[in-house]
Structure 1
Amino acid sequence: MEKYEKLEKVGEGTYGKVYKAQDKATGQLVALKKTRLEMDEEGAYRRGPAPKPLPTEVVKSFLYQLCKGIAHCHGHGVLHRDLKPQNILVDKEKMILKIADLGLSRAFTVPMKSYTHEIVTLWYRAPEVLLGATHYSTGVDIWSIGCIFAEMVRRQALFPGDSELQQLLHIFRLLGTPTEENWPGVTHLRDWHEYPGWKSQNLTRVVPTLEPEGVDLLTKMLQFDPASRISAKAAMEHPYFDSLDKSQF
């Protein structure tokens, strides 16, 4: 801490406070996250402002870096479990993306409400988690990456639910109500109920500016059956990234 001068508090998350600070030696501006590990009370959570629209090449670069970081985690047997824009830090000068709050959700259950009674966001939560699956795997992070990808492209959240039920309905209205055919075992999950039988929509409707390869990658990330979702490693090889100079990462 002696290396840095704290300038101002920029946010407060479920697990602690984030400060803007300056490296005393180099003058570089950094984000410092002070983590509250003893959870006697549920942390406050604030929803940040909607992100500004991003140029196509920036979306591509950030998505690739996100996949690369998560592929590294998954390759070491670590799930993030709480990926969302608020947990992604960007060095604006170098356009380098960093994943924060890594693995904290392994240590704690994510509270449904903060002590300020604000709902903790469900927008990036995979349907198997929303439906009460007790065993889940790397697919939970891939679903979150898909939601973040769509949000970068369309400038607003893809599934902005304000309760677990509303979250599921947002998902089902776009992707269709899941069935045993496209998601074996779904009707046996703990919180499964009978839902209206929606038909799946074409994803281009919600991301009209996204090129066809991008829509294909997004579709592969937002598969209902977690076993059918593309892996982070395979996503990095997807044709969507063919125009990206990967050597910079």
Structure 2
Amino acid sequence: MGDLLCVSAVRAGCCSCCSEGRGSQPIPGLQHTDAASTVEQRPGMPFGAATSYVHLEKLCEGSCATVYKGISRINGQLVVLKVIRLEAEEGVPFTAVREASLLKHLKHANVVLLHDIIQTKETLTFVFEYMHTDLAQYMGQHPGGLHSCNVMLFMFQLLRGLAYIHQQHILHRDLKPQNLLISCLGELKLADFGLARAKSIPRQTYSCEVAALWYRPPDVLLGATDYSSDLDIWSAGCIFVEMIQGQPIFAGTSGTHEQLLKIWEVLGVPTEDTWPGLSKLPNYDPELVASRRPQRLRVICDRLSRVPGAEDLASKMLTAFPRGRISAQHALLHGFFSPLPPQLYQVPAGQSVLTVPEVRLQPEMCDLFVSYRKGHLSQGSSKFW
């Protein structure tokens, strides 16, 4: 695991609450979550009380929220405390209302667990399970692309979490490496549901100002507002390639125009034949569409061809026409994951896939190099599965 054990920075949604407005109503049922039924509670330490948690250190700070590492006096577990500052005239942020209402009902091993909610006149505090790092920091510590087995393990868990929330008719809408938390064992969990929405009304329209620019699909860049789970699939596909290649696939710098150009360079020029309704999108520009010629994914991302099945899975997720993208449930059955033990598909939703024997993270190359230099490499390295 190398440096992963030493990392304590957590990005449990410290920034998304700054991107939208605030509401004036309190969150309905703003008491502790169902976590009380799954942990042993110490006498005299109630849920929903600030005194039940001890702040240990600040992890990060945004314009309206600060995230702390803490410990629960209820059960002695490490937690993450996301403290949102409330303005008297503005009330609770809409993003906080959404995050609380959604996470209270999401119980899955690959979705971050909301333990508790504490509200005072000045602050609203979300208490999350503690995770050691996030995928962005993990990739930063292991440059040049991750071990293919680790990519497989992380991607399987990402799609497993997505399949679950999509079955619950929930769109995450902000998938990026910073919002994928990782434990010291290699468990991956979806986090930061501040932009998430429940898609309960058919053909409901949404804002196109969602997802970080590098992970935003072309249909949303072109102004589409009737997207569905295909939005999250595109973002997950970008993350998939980034894990293998070691750098973002569509790293634009000057807004949506350049972002679209980078996408066309890889996917080629869309037409009405390949993308029905393309010309009717609000930001459609025929000159922009016609200004690029395609290159295969493996040309842009040469490491894809070295991993069996990776290019095919990436191409099925990174399809310009949104309705043509593979679903999370079908992606889990892709041949890319065939080396995984079949028992993983029988693991209950609330149980980690790392409970399957022999499933664990492989040491990354830079970790192996450091271990060799220090003379600490064991003679028989453990297998991933």
- Asked if residue 234 in structure 1 is aligned to residue 330 in structure 2, the reply is yes
Q: Whole-Å Cα distance in 1 between the matches of residues 166 and 208 of structure 2?
A: 20
For residues 67 and 74 of structure 1, what CA distance do their matches in structure 2 show? 10
1:192 to 246, 268, 284: 284
Deviations 1:74-128 (A, max 9, x none): 1111111111111111112x2111101226343996879xxxxxxx831111111
CA pair 128-35 structure 1, distance change in 2 beyond 3 A: farther
Once residues 177 and 15 of structure 1 are traced to their aligned partners in structure 2, the CA distance between those partners, rounded to angstroms, is 41
- Give the structure 1 partner of residue 318 of structure 2: 222
Aligned to 1:10: 59
Deviations 1:56-76 (A, max 9, x none): 111111111010101001111
Report the Cα distance in structure 2 between the residues aligned to 1:184 and 1:109, rounded to whole angstroms: 21
Cα distance in 1 for partners of 2:58, 2:207 equals 25
Does the C-alpha gap of structure 1 residues 27 and 201 become closer, same or farther in structure 2, counting only changes over 3 Å?
farther
| Structure 1 range deviating more: 194-203 or 162-171 | 194-203
CA RMSD of aligned residues (A): 2.8
Mapped pair 1:173 → 2:269:
no
- Equivalent residue runs for 1:20-169 within 5 Å: 20-23=69-72, 29-35=78-84, 37-38=92-93, 51=140, 52=142, 53-92=145-184, 94-102=185-193, 104-106=195-197, 121-162=212-253, 163-169=255-261
Q: What is the rounded CA distance, in whole Å, between the counterparts of 1:228 and 1:31 in structure 2? A: 38
**Aligned-partner Cα distance in 1 for 2:218–2:250:** 11
- Shift of residue 239, structure 1, vs aligned partner: 0.7
Structure 1 window deviating more from structure 2 (102-111 vs 9-18): it is: 102-111
The one-letter code matched in structure 2 to 1:219 is: S
Q: CA deviation at 1:213?
A: 0.2
Q: 8 Å contact 2:207–2:225 — kept in the other structure?
A: no
Instruction: Indicate if the aligned counterparts of 1:20 and 1:32 stay in contact, CA closer than 8 A.
Output: yes
User: Which is greater in Rg?
Assistant: 2
TM-score (norm 2): 0.55
Question: Once the 2 structures are TM-superposed, how far is the Cα of residue 200 of structure 1 from its aligned partner?
Answer: 1.7
* Aligned CA distance change for structure 1 residues 13 and 86 (closer, same or farther; 3 Å): farther
Q: Structure 2: any 5+ residue segments left out of the alignment?
A: 1-49, 86-91, 96-135, 199-205, 354-385
- CA–CA separation in structure 1 for the residues paired with 2:146 and 2:74: 32
Query: How many matched pairs?
Result: 234
Cα gap change, 1:136/1:62 in structure 2, threshold over 3 Å: closer, same or farther? Answer: same
Gaps of 5+ in 1: 41-47, 113-119
Task: Provide the secondary structure at the position in 2 that maps to 1:123.
Answer: helix
- CA contact under 8 A between 2:208 and 2:224: conserved in structure 1? no
Residue 209 (str. 1) matches residue 258 (str. 2):
no
Question: When the two structures are superposed, what TM-score results if normalisation uses the length of structure 1?
Answer: 0.82
